[in-house]
A and B are shown apart, each in its own frame.
Chain A
């Protein structure tokens, strides 16, 4: 009997996963011949030189490290040694704050641009120039004017998440079917009620798609921004562990960044499914 497509896909995923782990495990086995050396010198050189152990951690090292982090995610032993949970909380806080500020600006402005051809044309050149600017290019200007590294990071998140939402909202609002607007017109629906009962629900799927793109970009950018501004956050954690030469922790952080990004994306995908209407 053939199992369902989902079951077969899950099985194949597991095979790929364990195949990858095995290849990784074999790949980091030390094979280098070790030259005999003075024990005093050997103590200075560490296991890579004395026992031929690979400098790259294997899956078992990473697994053990993940277990350690899971047992104690929120420890705080000074500015350079905080648990990965605390670092993630800092990053998420910055992302969500910058993102919601962007929502507050992009949605009303997108409505305005979408509803008025005049505004649409007037704003278009600015949007076209601002959109392709790498958000990190704003960082020096933000640091200089705001004079606070943490708020500057929030500003960078704001500026990178505002464009997809703005563009999608404007597009969604301008593309509302004329017949639905005509329904509102023949029913003499006043403008504010029309905006909330016709245009908003009609444009909601497009708007949420923009919000989903934005949260993805924001999560990409926060890592780089925190590497620059330092202090706290998962981006800073990655850079700090690189300076500590703890490749194991860097790999753990990479995994965690991926997982959180997926959760954020899926959360907005779920919102999108709720607001999508079949025609």
Chain B
């Protein structure tokens, strides 16, 4: 259907209702991602974001439809798709190196121990944990644990990195520093990534495209927002960009009101298979008020 790197085509998730019948969390959901792109999905709790991510990871299979990565339909978990878990999910009986090496040796089963450790160390250094490689996860702070999770996911050199609110359990300072590093590492490696978040600023800083999901049940993709900010943005001064407030206001407006009301006032010409793509940016003529501009 599409020649996109990652395509989600008509997936659905339904829960059995207590009295019989089923509650539809979402159905007929379509979107796609390009190679090397960072996509975020934003929406309120209960809209099925985590299910979408689990579908992409292969941890759950969609009830209808299919998710396709690089031309192959997902039928289960794969080393091509690494997951960074919200709760970091490190193995507490293994050291930092042991945790990363476990992933590396799962990826390249015929590698020698030296090869595995050297490769793992490369990624431990990349996330700035050199010197702590022999510590157990219990000896690390929350931010360091999540760095190990990131190193573990990156070390298997996946086609796509899937992140389920990876920074939500961290304090604000650690979160900011880690976001910056993740963006730097992903840009360096050209890694395709998909992330769930609640945090509008996190989405604006990290993502190239932001998928907006309306409230569940019967959630749908309202639109896909293209991030108008320059690619070499830095976290400390993104708010100085003229496009920052237009895109931020657009996202906030969606989360606060349109995520609830979208269902009742579906725009004319809305097509589930091709959700509208918008690029909110400052008007060149600087007219206040209307900042939304439709692309394509």
Measuring CB to CB, which residues of chain A are less than 8 angstroms from any residue of chain B? 177, 179-180, 182-183, 185-189, 197-198, 201-202, 277-279
Contacts and interface: CB of A to CB of B under 8 A. Distances in A.
Contact of A180 (B58, B76, B83, B89): B89
A188 B89 contact: no
Contact of B138 (A185, A197, A278): A278
A278 B136 contact: yes
Nearest to B106: A187
A185 to B, nearest CB: 4
Contacts of A188: 77-79, 106
Interface residues of B, number: 24
A201 B95 CA distance: 13
Given A186-B82, A187-B102, A201 B57 contact: no
Contacts of A187: 79, 102-103, 106-107, 156
Contact of B59 (A185, A201, A278): A185
Given A188-B78, A278-B138, A183 B107 contact: no
Given A179-B87, A180-B89, A186 B59 contact: yes
B15 interface: no
Residue picked from A180, A182, A187, A201, most chain B C-beta under 10 Å: A187
Interface in B26-82: 57-59, 76-79, 81-82
Contacts of A278: 92, 136, 138
B91 interface: yes
Contact of A277 (B59, B76, B136): B136
Nearest to B86: A179
Contact of A179 (B77, B85, B106): B85
B89 A277 contact: no
A198 B83 CA distance: 17
**Interface pairs A-B: 10 shortest CB-CB:** A179-B89, A278-B138, A187-B106, A277-B93, A277-B92, A185-B77, A186-B77, A201-B93, A186-B83, A279-B92
Given A201-B93, A277-B92, A186 B138 contact: no
Given A186-B57, A186-B82, 16 more contacts: A179-B85, A180-B89, A182-B83, A182-B85, A182-B89, A186-B77, A186-B81, A186-B83, A187-B79, A187-B106, A188-B77, A198-B91, A201-B91, A201-B93, A277-B136, A279-B92
A188 B102 CA distance: 11
Contacts, number: 54
A177 B137 CA distance: 16
A229 B76 CA distance: 58
8 contacts: A177-B89, A182-B85, A185-B58, A186-B82, A187-B107, A201-B93, A277-B136, A278-B136
Interface of B: 57-59, 76-79, 81-83, 85, 87, 89, 91-93, 102-103, 106-107, 136-138, 156
Interface centre among B79, B87, B92, B136 (most CB of A within 10 A): B92
A275 B156 CA distance: 28
Nearest to B152: A183
Contacts of B136: 277-278
Contacts of A183: 85, 89, 91
Contacts of B89: 177, 179-180, 182-183
A18 to B, nearest CB: 43
A198 B138 CA distance: 17
A203 to B, nearest CB: 11
Nearest to A275: B93
A260 B278 CA distance: 77
Which of B57, B76, B91, B136 neighbours the largest number of chain A CB atoms within 10 Å of its CB? B91
Contacts of B83: 182, 186
Contacts of B138: 277-279
Contacts of A198: 91
Most buried by A among B83, B87, B156: B83
Contacts of B85: 179, 182-183
Contacts of A179: 85, 87, 89
A226 B51 CA distance: 60
A107 to B, nearest CB: 18
A180 B57 contact: no
Nearest to A189: B106
Contacts of B106: 187-189
Contacts of B81: 186
Contact of B102 (A197, A202, A277, A279): A197
Contacts of A189: 106
Contacts of B82: 186
A202 to B, nearest CB: 8
A182 B59 contact: yes
B36 to A, nearest CB: 21
Contacts of B102: 187, 197
Q: Point out which of B85, B89, B156 has the most chain A C-beta atoms below 10 A from its C-beta.
A: B89
A274 to B, nearest CB: 11
A76 to B, nearest CB: 48
A52 B223 CA distance: 103
B146 to A, nearest CB: 13
Contacts of B76: 185
